[in-house]
Structure 1
């Protein structure tokens, strides 16, 4: 299928002293690499190797996503991490929302692939009552209203994502949450967790659950006071990028 303009994967080879450090950036559900592009481009400008793949079923039309499941997205994330590890000494994984859960899953099961995690509003739990009916509703209704564009800042760029959320695909993710939480103690890499104060998509419970269960003893929490869910495109974008850059440098140095 034809990829939507702006939703293309992002890949950039590193240059100079930082070229041996790679950053894998994973986008959120129904979205595309466009949501992490500002971070990817800045890291590339600083000399890091950067890869922001397009998850299966994303960046084209929602009907394509409806045929994919969490296992497909996880497999794509593992493959991307393996490719980076093959040619780089250090690999840091950055993930927003679904992307955050995916890179955390990889860190738990393939610690050889991940040296550090940057998580922005990762999804591991929720309190919305509607989640309880999705396992039944998905057999009757194919889609629900989209999750895109939770951004406080007015004007472009807006998030490039589907207007509809395929319910079978979405449910394949939420049904993984109990397993992901059980396995959080296996995550022992350094973590930078960034939380948006005005997130309307992922509730505080998700980050609180992560912090209570993660096995790492090196976890830094940074609040994004003027941002909603898609913090990479919101008011705190510059501070998010700066914090990510500092963290990647820290992991690369082995601090």
Structure 2
């Protein structure tokens, strides 16, 4: 077996303005590490929690649910509060964007940035994503093809009830968009599936705040924070943060 470093949360201390950074589904904090380093270089304090079940095998991931992921996010928010940060903005990509919208609905934040957020999701597509993640993870572990094939067959017969909960969680999040009264910037990749452009404009139309904007990036797919437009995205997010009342 190949040993590889397990992903983990990161905390980058800066000034009194704090940012909670939230990664995507089946991924980990590497999604937001470059953004975090950039914002930290501009004197923002950044914390990115690793959601429960993430950074491990797919078999481990499907044993967790949106409730578990939310607890990780809530823990990250409280960590910043306990560290003395009273002013917090939240930024999330994909699942992280869904969670960021929930933070904006339930907690006191100065502003919200979402990237590549789905306003609906099909359970079969979520299952396909988990299986693709499982394949990649097992290859990184250095397992033989025959063993990987056997383990993937077993995984396919497992319960994917957590994915149905994920779909329902997205639906509930969208139903609560009217509760978002704080500034929000909604970003999407023009090279991503059309759903995400639709989602961006749906969120834009349904939040209560008048301080809102939506923007697409022509060279970005789904993981915008790692795509060719990332430097433009970094500066656009910085500009948004600088426009907030802290």
Settle same-fold status: TM greater than 0.5.
Answer: yes
Candidates 105, 108, 133, aligned match of 1:108: 105
In 2: Cα distance, 1:106 partner to 1:94 partner: 10
1:125 aligns with 2:120: yes
- How many Å apart are 1:4 and its aligned residue? 5.3
Q: How does 1:93-242 map to 2 (within 5 A)?
A: 93-110=90-107, 112=108, 114-126=109-121, 131=122, 144-146=131-133, 167-200=160-193, 202-242=195-235
Q: Deviations over 1:81-134 (max 9, x none)?
A: 122134113101000000000011121122x2x1100111112224xxxx2668
| Shift in CA distance, 180/148, structure 1 to aligned 2, threshold 3 Å | farther
1:13 aligns with 2:13: yes
Higher percent of residues as helix:
2
| Shift in CA distance, 132/249, structure 1 to aligned 2, threshold 3 Å | closer
| Shift in CA distance, 133/107, structure 1 to aligned 2, threshold 3 Å | same
Q: Larger radius of gyration, structure 1 or 2?
A: 2
- How many Å apart are 1:5 and its aligned residue? 2.2
In 2: Cα distance, 1:132 partner to 1:54 partner: 23
Q: TM-score, normalised by structure 1?
A: 0.79
| Shift in CA distance, 132/41, structure 1 to aligned 2, threshold 3 Å | closer
Structure 2: any 5+ residue segments left out of the alignment?
Answer: 137-151
Q: Deviations over 1:211-233 (max 9, x none)?
A: 22111111111211111000111
Q: TM-score, normalised by structure 2?
A: 0.81
Structure 1: any 5+ residue segments left out of the alignment?
Answer: 150-162
